[in-house]
Amino acid sequence: MNFEFFKDKITEKFSSQENFANKIGVSRRTLLNWFSKKSIPNEHLFSILELLDLNESDENTLLSIPKLQLVFRTKHKMTARQKSEELCQNVASSFMKLDSTAYETKGAIPILSNPSIETAVASIKNLLSLRDDVPATLTSVLETLKANGPRVIFFPFNRIGIDIQTQGREVAFTAVQGDKRIIFLDTNRRVDEVLFDLIHELAHIVCGHPNNTSEDNEHFCNEVSQEIIYPRTFFLKNKKLLSFLQNCSKENFNRVKEFITLLMKDFDWNSMGIALALERYDHLSKASNSYKWLMAIDSQLKKQVPTFDDIHFSTFNKNDFDSLIKFFQNDIYKSKEIFNGFIELKNAAMYGHLSPSRLAELLGLNVGDADELVKSWIKDDSEEVHEEEGQISDTTK
């Protein structure tokens, strides 16, 4: 932390250091201990940033951290997009500040210079500890990244106001700050789509793509993702399966459909992904009837598969306070892999590390609702503590 800059900003914005200390809820001695580096104001960080009302550049200077960059597709100068990108910036910046070490990767991720698709695929497979002929699955990828990084956070983009449009809707972005990286994934996607988005973002990281990626960058990452989820060697080793898929027709349509339903469960695959992979590996032609039937199967099956929103975020309704209460009381504890970001925000707000106004901004709420939400969490936590103390007392009698 840049304490000289900190001191200058207090002098610039407050009548005295004592006045600032009172506003932040600490003694002047505590403030002086910060200035002399005898202690660090971690638990007051968000309150400090809010009181000093710093822009992103000044925040980075104060915290002595590198500039935060977001990896997006090619930008279009649209007001709606700019607003969404600002919200993404706030979301990413907040998570980076919640814990200064949580998002550092356990080992350095090698950044490749102008890699071939094969080189990028090999690097990511090494990162994920995947054999050449084994398809990546969402569960296995999340488990590996949980141990080694980068961090993955699921966020309901549309539900909080992120609606970034390029040629298609933006479904993921990566935040980079020095050695820290976070991949944010939209929850309005099926499992197979989320897996593709995640590998796609890993490819951006490994290739060191700039924050404004080109269409060539996007196409490259799509091919890398395809190769890792639908490995070429998998089909070469499973020739009966390959032949079965190559001969999809009207006559065996239902049999192929049933088999692909099993593949979707085992490998997080989809019929379109299979068709596109086989076409890329020269096992199918786009003009073939088999390709068209596989696409027809995809059209039928994808309507039956729920999204992460359907499964996990149905009660996250920022316009219904009771639904929000239920979501944060019960739902976020059902799967820590899916809700780790929301658990982190809740804990930070409860313990005063995240202000209600910042929480409101991140979740697309009004400040009053965010304030009431935090009060309800603190009340529930207090009641749980009293209940546990009562149980301990009963057992000691």
Q: How confident is the model at residue 253 (pLDDT cuts 50, 70, 90)?
A: very high
φ, ψ (nearest 5 deg) of residue 169: -75, 135
Please state, in angstroms and as integers, the Cα–Cα distance from residue 283 to each residue in 104, 227, 241, 246, 277, following that order.
Answer: 41, 14, 12, 7, 9
HSE-CB at 372 with a 13 A cutoff on CA atoms is: 11
Write down the pLDDT at residue 82: 66
CA 99 from centroid of its chain's CA atoms? 15
Cα separation, 46 vs 11, in Å, equals: 19
For residue 261, give the 3-state DSSP assignment.
helix
**The tokens of 64 are what?**
């002595």
Q: Residue 232: name the closest of 122, 392, 336 by CA.
A: 122
More confident residue, 15 or 79: 15
Query: Cis peptide before 150, with omega less than 30 degrees from 0?
Result: yes
Write down the pLDDT at residue 179: 80
**The tokens of 332 are what?**
């976020």
Q: How confident is the model at residue 102 (pLDDT cuts 50, 70, 90)?
A: low
pLDDT digits (tens, 9 = 90+) for 180-237: 889 999 999 999 999 999 999 999 999 988 777 888 999 999 999 999 999 999 999 9
Amino acid, res. 19: N
Cα separation, 123 vs 349, in Å, equals: 38
Query: Residue 284 CB: number of other CB atoms within 10 A?
Result: 21
Q: Residue 371: name the closest of 385, 386, 382, 361 by CA.
A: 361
Query: What residues have CB less than 8 Å from 128, skipping those under 6 apart?
Result: 136, 140, 141, 144, 145, 228
Write down the pLDDT at residue 76: 45
Cα separation, 92 vs 184, in Å, equals: 8
Answer yes or no: is pLDDT of 109 > 90.
no
Average pLDDT, the chain: 86
Between CA 269 and CA 184, with CA 109 as vertex, the angle to 5 degrees is: 50
Query: Residue 350 CB: number of other CB atoms within 10 A?
Result: 15
Write down the pLDDT at residue 123: 94
pLDDT digits (tens, 9 = 90+) for 79-97: 456 667 778 888 888 888 7
Write down the pLDDT at residue 87: 81
Instruction: Give the mean model confidence (pLDDT) for residues 244-259.
Output: 95
Instruction: Give the mean model confidence (pLDDT) for residues 266-283.
Output: 96
Sign of CA dihedral 287, 136, 224, 115: negative
Write down the pLDDT at residue 166: 45
CB distance 283 to 246 below 8 Å: yes
For residue 43, give the 3-state DSSP assignment.
helix
Write down the pLDDT at residue 206: 93
Answer yes or no: is pLDDT of 167 > 70.
no
Cα separation, 18 vs 10, in Å, equals: 10
Instruction: Give the mean model confidence (pLDDT) for residues 360-366.
Output: 87
pTM: 0.82
Cα separation, 243 vs 255, in Å, equals: 14
